[in-house]
Each structure stands twice: as C-alpha cells, then as structure tokens.
C-alpha cells in the first residue's frame, strides 16, 4: 500500500486534481513507449528484490510527470515522499527526506533543475551509494558523520532537461521524455474523467474539448471542469458541442486551443516585432510575463503547432501564425538589409 500520509497534502482547490489523477500506470492513457519501459523496469526490480533505478521525467507542465511519480510507488507497493526543487534551499533541507527513506521507497523531487548546486552535489552519494555525510557541530569541534541510507529510488521531474547538470542527469538510470498527447488520447482522457465526475457528455463535445486542450491532460481536465460548470449554470448540466463552443468562447479559448496568453504572445511577436526574430526577454518584457513561464508553458505548444520557430537570432512567427491571427504576412525579405538568413536553434 502506498502510504499517502507521507505525501504532501493537496493544496486547497486541488481536490479535482486528486480525483482525476490516474492511480495505477494501467489507468494512464497515452505515453505507451514510456509506460512499456517503466513496466519492464518495475517488473525486473520486483523480481530482483531491489529498488527501481532512479528515474528522470522531462517535458512541459501537465503531461503526467507527477502522475507517473505517484503511480510508480503504487506499482512497487512502497511509500513515497514528495519534495520540490525550489523548496530545498540547502543540504539540511533534504536530510529529513533522506533519513526518512524506507527500504526501496521513492523520493520524488519536482522541478529538480531548480535544486541549488550544493543540494544537487549532496544527492550524488545518496543516489550512487545510498550514503550521505552529515556535519555535526561547528568550527573546530565539527565532526562528519557518515550515514548509510536505505536503498531508494529517486524520481526527478523537470520541464528543462537542458538545465540539468551532466553529473546529475547521468545518475538517473531511466530517462524518459513525455511528449504532447494526440487528440484521440485526450478525448479518451476527457471521456474517462467525465465518467469519474458523473457528467453526461456527447462524443463530439469530448472531441472538441480534447482538440482545444493543447495536447495536455491537465489543460483537458481544466477545460472539462469549466465546461461542466458552464453546462450547469447555463443549461441542464449535460455537455453538448454547443455548450463547449459557448463555454470556450467565453474564456477566450480558440479553435486551436490557444488561450488569451498564447494569443498575446503571438500578437506581440507579429505586431510589435513584425513577426520576429525577437529575443525571449524582449517578448517577456513587452507582455509582462516572466520569460521562464513563456519558455516552459507557452512556447512548447506554439512550437509544436508550427506557429513559431526558434532561430539563432530569436523567435519568429510562421505564416500559419499570421493566418491564425488574420494578419497579412510581410513580403519575404530579399536580403537587402544584409541580414544573415535564419537558422533553427540547435
Ligand atoms: P506534470 O507533473 O507533468 O505537470 P501531472 O502529472 O500533474 O503533470 O498531470 C496533470 C493532470 O493530468 C493529472 O492530475 C492527471 O489527472 C492528468 N494526467 C496526466 N497524465 C495523464 C495520463 N497519461 N492519463 C490520464 N490523465 C493524465
């Protein structure tokens, strides 16, 4: 049994998140290749009676990293502790988690790329040899205590695999990238979650919510919950295609699933920067949103939708983006400004 008591309590308003989150890996939809790898590794770890190798998940927010991190311990039948990179400011912050570990239990660190260097280095021996050094006392009377830890599995999640240092990344035996979901996978998630919420929904309404969910289960859940509320307030509670269209229109979510922030980004890139190239910091300052948020939460879907490209000289809007915002693209450059051609970022 997974002892949930060791997990952080959900933040207020997270009840729906807990209710909709799959409990077992078999209940998860999509990510078939990742699931196959994990199931083999979990099976082997159980047969060998050893902890599962450390696992690193990377990918944009809302794609299932935390869900995997809560399902894996259930498959292993071990407890899990949840921690977050930014909250672990110094090695002393991570010591309680490490000393609380039970044999083969799981420690999940979300946003692991935000661990300070000192904490990251402290993790090296913990991950590799299941031991840590604790310094007791101060100054000349300081002593170092070498502490043996219980064999455990670290699960790290990051939206920025590129920001992880090589030594940390190399200490994860299993590294999996979570990609965006297809419309049909999201439709299946919407249908399953409508059932969990006891909500009547037509097939075309479920497909429409999926299409407008930016390839992301968390977004699909949020859209579904909003549409449910809208159906209750404005109709008889049943979710039809018409209800989805009206609910989406009211919150400014367009047919590609872009929300107001996504469109503001595109609009700024096109109208203020003439379609680019524009640096991310310049865009972030103009729309007053932190550049990290744009890089982690806005750009991955715009890139995947071929609405923007990242080049060595900055971000550029594609003809598709101009078309989507109903703006006539400028005539192609003849090179008269002597600028270098744009190369995709490597
Ligand atoms: P991340 O940690 O990557 O930001 P989460 O794991 O918190 O994302 O996922 C957000 C929500 O999306 C979860 O609460 C869950 O309801 C849903 N979800 C994520 N992945 C899946 C999946 N593969 N199948 C079904 N629902 C999923």
User: Cis omega (within 30 of 0) on the bond before 152?
Assistant: no
> Residues with Cβ within 6 A of ligand 1?
17, 20-22, 28-31, 61-67, 157, 189, 217-218, 221
Q: Verify that 265 and 228 share a domain, yes or no.
A: no
Q: What is this structure's pTM?
A: 0.89
Atom of ligand 1 nearest to the CA of 60: 3
**Ligand 1 pocket: which of 15, 218, 296, 300 to mutate (most atoms <8 Å of CB)?**
218
| 186 CA from centroid of ligand 1 (Å) | 11
Q: Verify that 191 and 210 share a domain, yes or no.
A: yes
Find out whether 189 and 196 touch, Cβ atoms under 8 Å.
Answer: no
Domain that holds residue 268: 260-324
109: which strand partners? 83, 156
Is residue 15 very low, low, confident or very high in pLDDT (cuts 50, 70, 90)?
A: confident
Q: Verify that 242 and 309 share a domain, yes or no.
A: no
| 238 CA from centroid of ligand 1 (Å) | 25
Tokens standing for residue 272: 């203020």
Q: Verify that 162 and 190 share a domain, yes or no.
A: no
Average pLDDT over residues 259-278: 95
The total domain count for the chain is: 3
What is residue 83's three-state secondary structure?
Answer: strand
List pLDDT tens digits, range 67-119: 999 999 999 999 999 999 999 999 999 999 999 999 999 999 999 999 999 99
| 218 CA from centroid of ligand 1 (Å) | 6
H or E stretch including 174? strand 174-177
State the pLDDT at residue 289.
95
Find out whether 262 and 302 touch, Cβ atoms under 8 Å.
Answer: yes
List pLDDT tens digits, range 176-192: 999 999 999 999 999 99
Residue 135 pLDDT more than 90? no
State the pLDDT at residue 346.
53
CATH code (residue 307): 1.10.10.10
Tell me which DSSP letter residue 13 carries.
T
Burial class (CB in 10 A: 0-12, 13-18, 19+), 329: middle
State the pLDDT at residue 8.
44
Residue 267 pLDDT more than 90? yes
């Amino acid at each position: 049994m997974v002892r949930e008591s060791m997990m952080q309590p959900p933040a207020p308003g997270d009840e729906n998140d807990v209710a909709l989150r799959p409990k077992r890996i078999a209940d998860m939809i999509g990510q078939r290749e990742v699931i196959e790898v994990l199931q083999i590794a979990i099976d082997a770890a159980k047969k060998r009676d050893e902890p599962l190798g450390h696992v690193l998940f990377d990918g944009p927010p809302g794609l299932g990293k935390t869900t995997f991190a809560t399902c894996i311990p259930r498959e292993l039948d071990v407890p899990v502790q949840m921690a977050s990179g930014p909250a672990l400011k110094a090695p002393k912050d991570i010591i309680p988690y490490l000393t609380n570990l039970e044999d083969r239990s799981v420690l999940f660190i979300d946003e692991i790329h935000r661990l300070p260097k000192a904490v990251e280095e402290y993790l090296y021996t913990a991950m590799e040899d299941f031991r840590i050094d604790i310094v007791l006392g101060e100054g000349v009377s300081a002593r170092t205590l070498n502490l043996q830890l219980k064999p455990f599995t670290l699960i790290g999640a990051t939206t920025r695999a590129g920001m992880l240092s090589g030594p940390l990344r190399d200490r994860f035996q299993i590294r999996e990238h979570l990609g965006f979901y297809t419309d049909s996978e999201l439709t299946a998630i919407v249908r399953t979650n409508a059932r969990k919420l006891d909500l009547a929904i037509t097939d075309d309404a479920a497909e429409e919510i999926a299409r407008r969910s930016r390839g992301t289960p968390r977004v699909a859940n949020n859209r579904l919950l909003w549409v449910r509320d809208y159906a209750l307030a404005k109709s008889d509670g049943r979710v039809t295609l018409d209800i989805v269209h009206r609910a989406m229109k009211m919150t400014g979510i367009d047919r590609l699933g872009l929300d107001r922030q996504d469109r503001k980004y595109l609009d700024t890139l096109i109208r203020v920067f003439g379609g680019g190239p524009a640096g991310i910091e310049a865009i972030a300052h103009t729309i007053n949103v932190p550049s990290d948020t744009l890089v982690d939460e806005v750009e991955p879907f715009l890139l995947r939708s071929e609405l923007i490209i990242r080049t060595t000289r900055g971000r550029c809007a594609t003809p598709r983006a101009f078309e989507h915002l109903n703006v006539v693209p400028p005539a192609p450059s003849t090179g008269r400004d002597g600028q270098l051609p744009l190369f995709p970022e490597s």
